[in-house]
């Protein structure tokens, strides 16, 4: 291991300086270097090249789990622990996102609050059994752009979404409307969200009732009650939003990489390409909806 460290840094520091620092002899290092590489070492060198390629392709946003998933999707049989070890040895890691937080939940209201039907039991046996909903924010040069999403718990895919320059109920209603129009869910589906005023609003609740959807809400100030949704937004921001610079909200809305990422992210531990074709059922929209980013028809409520 010490000889390997010297080999990796010999272009930065003199070999004798490195040998002295690691308490090994220079002759021992050169003897080690003259030996033919083992088949394992050759394989690790090839694996390193593949890891560096995938890491660069995804703008250094992927860590070991996702790089391993990409390599498996390419047909390689390498283990995740081996990928982690090679990445650790060569200092390859996912770029850390910038940290800032905007409060998107206004729970200080007098509107009715639904019972927590999920109680952190994030298990579904089929599509359109449980939907999760939440709001996040995208920074732009002229202020925040808010994104509302409805996520299917079974497939971990987005079934409805909308973008607006505000967080009023119209934002969440647009996302919910898209989801209902696309999926036409059967009665009894559970819709879980936080207890923000956007989800407790009368018009929002009326749409749920008209579609025979059961409403469920998290406990106050408990993000764990909607953990898969938090994971989805974390992935979105780590892989795209934190590294994008939008001069204005329209630029974010027009960004095809953003809209594509919203609709293709898998909120589990691996990207969609790494999952078995038999492990998850693919959703197919029942009806066509508007393809304009953030737009969907909002039915009148009475």
Question: What are the residue ranges spanned by the domains of the chain?
Answer: 2-89, 130-274
pLDDT at 159: 93
* Strand 143-152 versus strand 158-164 pairing type: antiparallel
Query: How do residues 92-119 score in pLDDT, each as one tens digit?
Result: 988 765 555 555 555 566 788 899 999 8
Q: Listing from the earlier edge strand, what are the strands of the sheet with 143-152?
A: 158-164, 143-152, 130-140, 190-193, 214-217
Tokens of residue 128, six digits: 């359109």
Tokens of residue 184, six digits: 């036409």
Q: Give the Å distances, CA to CA, from 106 to 168, 256, 271.
A: 10, 30, 32
> DSSP character for 148?
E
* Residue segments in the chain with a per-residue pLDDT below the cut of 50: 269-302
> DSSP character for 143?
E
Beta-strand runs (E) in 27-168? 130-140, 143-152, 158-164
- The owner of tokens 């040895």 is 89
* Cα separation, 298 vs 295, whole angstroms: 9
pLDDT at 298: 38
**β-bridge partners, 158:** 151
CATH of the structural domain 130-274, one choice from 1.50.10.20, 3.30.420.10, 3.10.580.10, 3.60.9.10:
3.30.420.10
pLDDT at 300: 38
Other Cβ atoms within 10 Å of 271 Cβ, number: 19
Query: How do residues 236-282 score in pLDDT, each as one tens digit?
Result: 877 777 667 788 999 988 887 777 777 776 655 433 333 333 333 43
Residue closest to 26 by CA, chosen among 7, 48, 52 = 7
């Amino acid at each position: 291991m010490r000889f390997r460290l010297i080999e990796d840094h010999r272009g930065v520091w003199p070999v004798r300086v490195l040998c002295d620092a690691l308490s090994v002899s220079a002759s021992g290092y050169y003897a080690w270097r003259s030996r033919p590489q083992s088949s394992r070492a050759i394989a690790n060198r090839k694996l390193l090249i593949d890891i560096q390629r995938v890491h660069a392709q995804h703008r250094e946003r992927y860590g070991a789990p996702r790089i391993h998933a990409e390599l498996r999707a390419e047909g390689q049989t390498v283990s995740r622990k081996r990928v982690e070890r090679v990445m650790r040895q060569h200092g390859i890691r996912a770029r850390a996102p910038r940290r800032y937080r905007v409060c998107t939940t206004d729970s200080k209201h007098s509107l009715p609050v639904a019972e927590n039907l999920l109680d952190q039991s994030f298990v579904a046996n089929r599509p359109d059994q449980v939907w999760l909903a939440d709001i996040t924010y995208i920074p732009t040069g002229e202020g925040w752009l808010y994104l509302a999403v409805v996520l299917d718990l079974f497939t971990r895919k987005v079934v409805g979404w909308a973008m607006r320059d505000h967080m009023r109920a119209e934002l969440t209603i647009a996302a919910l409307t898209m989801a209902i129009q696309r999926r036409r869910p059967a009665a009894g589906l559970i819709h879980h969200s936080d207890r923000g005023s956007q989800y407790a609003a009368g018009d929002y609740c009326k749409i749920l009732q008209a579609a025979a959807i059961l409403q469920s809400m998290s406990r106050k100030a408990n993000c764990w009650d909607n953990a898969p949704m938090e994971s989805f937004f974390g992935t979105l921001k780590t892989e795209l939003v934190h590294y994008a610079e939008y001069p204005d909200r329209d630029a974010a809305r027009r960004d095809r990489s953003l809209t594509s990422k919203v609709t293709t992210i898998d909120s589990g531990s691996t990207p969609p390409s790494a999952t078995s074709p038999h492990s998850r059922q693919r959703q197919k929209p029942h009806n066509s909806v508007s393809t304009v980013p953030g737009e969907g028809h909002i039915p009148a409520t009475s």
